[in-house]
Amino acid sequence: MKRVILLIALFAVTWELKAQNSDPTRWEATVGLNVSNLGGLGSRTGFHIGARAEFPIFALDTKGYINAGAILSLKGCSQDRLELGTIKTNPYYLDIPIHFGYKHNITRNVSVFGEVGPYFGIGLFGKHKLKDVTITDVEGSHVKEDYEENVFADNGLKRFDFGLGFRIGAELQKRYSVSLEYDWGLLNEYKKGETTAGEYSNKYWDATPDLKNRNLTISLSYKF
């Protein structure tokens, strides 16, 4: 019985060492700030938090890699339109970047990296808020009202986004990193003012520019 237990323990230790040596994947937790814009309608600040995985490309002498992630990100825009009041669009996306990167060692504990590749965005939830909108009531008086609606409603944003991005940064002690990233959305996110009758309203389409996401981020990350 002791021999069996010893063999099982030896097998477990050997398997663990093999897994550590044969699996070069690095996992990374990341958090940071966003400065986003939607169709040039005004910038707003947000945040992001998520996880990434780094897979080496051995053909590039271990310096090349693929970095894929799942990032919860608050984007949107903010603007002050006088009689229309203050307008804030707060869409939350699950972003899935797939970047090809290259890392260069400066010293033993310091390296710099650059990445480029596509990202896919899935709209999750959010609000489109209008504050202090000036309207005229039945008595002819001007009053201010607040409105709020689902940002992904029929006259809102689409739930799918796609674009290109790049990221540059520095890594310390192969654990900590700081990076700057910029994403260009390639799709118009506006739904063309679809009405409840299922028809398209030209007045919404004509008055609304192409709403393409633009997002600048600064991130702090820790690798396991």
For residue 51, give the CATH number of its domain: 2.40.160.20
* Structural domain span for residue 120: 25-223
Residue type, 115: E
Q: Nearest 10 degrees: CA dihedral of 74, 78, 84, 85?
A: 100
Q: What is the arithmetic mean of pLDDT over 71-82?
A: 85
Judge contact between 124 and 95, C-beta under 8 A: no
Residue with the two structure tokens 């608050």: 74
Query: Is 20 inside a domain boundary?
Result: no
Residue 223 pLDDT > 90, yes or no? Answer: yes
In a domain, 8, yes or no: no
Quick check: is 17 in a domain? no
Is 0.85 surpassed by the pTM of this model? no
The structure tokens 């310096």 sit at 63
* Number of neighbouring beta carbons within 10 Å of residue 82: 8
Return the closest-CA partner of residue 169 out of 28, 46, 56, 73.
Answer: 28
Given a cut of 70, whether residue 97 has pLDDT beyond it is: yes
5 vs 128 pLDDT, higher one: 128
Phi, psi of 137 (to 5 degrees): -80, -175
User: What's the domain count of the chain?
Assistant: 1
The answer as to whether 70 is a domain residue is yes
CA distance 102 to 168: 10
Contact 188, 210 (CB under 8 A): yes
- State the distance between the two ends of the chain, measured CA to CA, in whole angstroms: 37
Under DSSP, the state recorded for 53 is: E
More confident residue, 58 or 162: 162
Helices (H), 51-136: none
Instruction: Output the pLDDT for position 198.
Output: 39
Q: Is residue 139 part of a domain?
A: yes
Q: What is the pLDDT of residues 112-123, one digit of tens each?
A: 999 999 999 999
pLDDT, tens only, 175-184: 999 999 999 9
The answer to the question of residue 134 being in a domain is: yes
What per-residue string of b and e applies to 133-165 under the rule 16 or more CB within 10 Å gives b? beeeeeeeeeeeeeeeeebbeebbbeeebebeb
pLDDT in tens, 8-41: 444 444 444 444 445 688 999 999 999 999 888 8
Residue 55 has pLDDT above 60, yes or no: yes
Q: Give percent of the chain above pLDDT 70.
A: 71
Quick one: 43 exposed, middle or buried, by C-beta within 10 A (0-12, 13-18, 19+)? middle
Give yes or no for residue 195 having a pLDDT over 90.
no
In a domain, 6, yes or no: no
Residue scoring higher pLDDT (80 or 28): 28
φ, ψ for residue 32, nearest 5 deg: 180, -170
Model confidence at 45: pLDDT above 60: yes
Summary mean pLDDT of the chain: 81
What's the pLDDT tens digit per position in 155-175?
A: 789 999 999 999 999 999 999
Residue 13, domain member (yes or no): no
